[in-house]
Amino acid sequence: MSDKIALITGASSGIGKSFAEILAKEGYNLILVARRKQKLNALAENLTKQFSIESKVLVADLAKLEQVKVVEETIKSLEHIDILVNNAGFGLYSSFTEDNYERQLDMVNVHVVASYMFCRAAVPIMLRKNEGIIINVSSMSGLMTKYGNVTYTTTKAFLIVLSESLQEELRNTNIKIQALCPGMTYSEFHDTKELEEFDRSTVPKRLWMCSNEVVTKSLRAARKGKVVYVPGFLNRLSLLFFKLFLVRKISQCFISRNEKKA
Ligand SMILES: NC(=O)c1ccc[n+]([C@@H]2O[C@H](COP(=O)([O-])OP(=O)(O)OC[C@H]3O[C@@H](n4cnc5c(N)ncnc54)[C@H](OP(=O)(O)O)[C@@H]3O)[C@@H](O)[C@H]2O)c1
């Protein structure tokens, strides 16, 4: 492969697929990672034809450490990598202590371990050219850590802290890191068996974004150096309300404690 290379995990649907389509249109050669081979092959074939780029498919289950290693080795073998998108992920409603222990560990591997290892593999290669972009797809949940849903929230918060601290370490380089924190986004995310009880109509339509819009905004923000990025005005507004509500709750707590002491 020559020219620009982007590696995208979770490229078989939703936000990852949009990253693949938009970056292919920009002329990037692609390495597409996910479990569903047929979907990846169809996407690769289509984008290769449409945009005269090269696309490689890498089938890997990122919940399995030996398969994470294979992707890591692939990254290390590249002469250069221009964009890395750590996007693969899934949702889970579960109580931390009661159920779904295996799936919670899978989530830690997919969201945390794989992203961490791929960042570690990609940064030294990006440093050789002193340029590159890494987008870690987190979630608004990662910024709303008083919200419950422990494993999802914690793993997504990890990606935010990883992105911020890595960007700080790389502050004197041209490498840009972003934690992308989408709100409700149309994709297959809510169609999995774990979230099958989720009813999209319970969330107001105006709070939903399409994955193409999320990705276009994310790439624009990443190129401008925005490290923690929440796409969509309404999402940013609801986050502000969430924080103000928390600040009010905390200050109420201090006030009532002090009242008790007095
Ligand atoms: N949709 C939302 O409302 C929303 C909001 C905030 C954040 N996010 C985040 O956005 C990211 C993308 O999700 P999406 O909304 O685009 O959902 P999606 O359409 O379900 O896409 C998820 C992608 O992750 C891949 N994936 C899942 N488990 C994997 C595993 N074990 N190994 C390898 N790949 C795996 C899936 O591919 P295979 O099934 O083919 O493996 C798929 O390509 C996720 O990290 C999610 O947490 C989504």
- Domain, as residue range, for 260: 237-262
Same domain for 135 and 225, yes or no, is yes
Q: How many domains does the chain have?
A: 2
Same domain for 137 and 259, yes or no, is no
Q: Which atom of ligand 1 is closest in space to residue 61's alpha carbon?
A: 32
Same domain for 195 and 125, yes or no, is yes
Same domain for 103 and 56, yes or no, is yes
Task: Please indicate whether residue 14, judged by its CB atom, sits closer than 6 Å to ligand 1.
Answer: yes
Task: Please indicate whether residue 61, judged by its CB atom, sits closer than 6 Å to ligand 1.
Answer: yes
Q: What is the CATH number of the domain that holds 32?
A: 3.40.50.720
Catalytic residue (choose from 116, 147, 152, 186): 152
Task: Please indicate whether residue 58, judged by its CB atom, sits closer than 6 Å to ligand 1.
Answer: no
Instruction: Say if residue 3 is exposed, middle or buried (CB neighbours under 10 Å; 0-12, 13-18, 19+).
Output: exposed
What is the residue-level pLDDT of the chain in tens, covering all 262 positions?
Answer: 458 999 999 999 999 999 999 999 999 999 999 999 999 999 999 999 999 999 999 999 999 999 999 999 999 999 999 999 999 999 988 788 877 889 999 999 999 999 999 999 999 999 999 999 999 999 999 998 766 789 999 999 999 999 999 999 999 999 999 999 999 999 999 998 888 888 888 888 999 999 999 999 999 999 999 999 999 999 999 899 888 777 667 666 666 666 665 5
Instruction: Say if residue 1 is exposed, middle or buried (CB neighbours under 10 Å; 0-12, 13-18, 19+).
Output: middle
Distance 247 CA to ligand 1 centre (A): 32
Same domain for 23 and 104, yes or no, is yes
